[in-house]
Amino acid sequence: MPTIVAIAPVVPQITDHEIEHIVEAAVAHGARGGFYLPVRLPHEVAPLFRAWLDEHYPDRAAKVMATIRSIRGGRDNDPDFYSRMRGSGPWADLMRTRFEMATKRYGLPRARFSLRTDLFEPPSSDQLRLL
């Protein structure tokens, strides 16, 4: 049976209130692990996200973007390898705490992924023959 992993996408001020419900539903549907991901807005995505916010949540758009920037060190996106998946600051800490409490309450362990080196196939061309 394949491993089912619950992913809780978190958009501050829009979906953060659903963290506990997502974890509960994931466990009810057989998830064996889970993680959360605060919204990331890399280069081309940020203007699209802002346009979506303006259309669907005009009353909250400024608050949502301010919260995202507080999670991302004052920017729309944090390119740093470690912190980009977690965020930093009080809002990120709050989301992390809520997710951890929900996983404990519903018995969902953190998702762990092992590196699958058996899927690697070396190139068949002479492209790397100089190495």
> What tokens does 103 get?
């996983």
Residue scoring higher pLDDT (44 or 128): 44
Mean pLDDT of 48-54: 95
Where are the chain's structural domains? 5-110
CB 1 within 8 A of CB 31: no
Largest CA distance in the chain: 59
The pLDDT tens digits for 88-106 are: 999 999 999 999 999 999 9
Residue scoring higher pLDDT (32 or 97): 97
Average pLDDT score over the chain: 85
Q: What percent of the chain has pLDDT over 70?
A: 87
Residue scoring higher pLDDT (48 or 83): 48
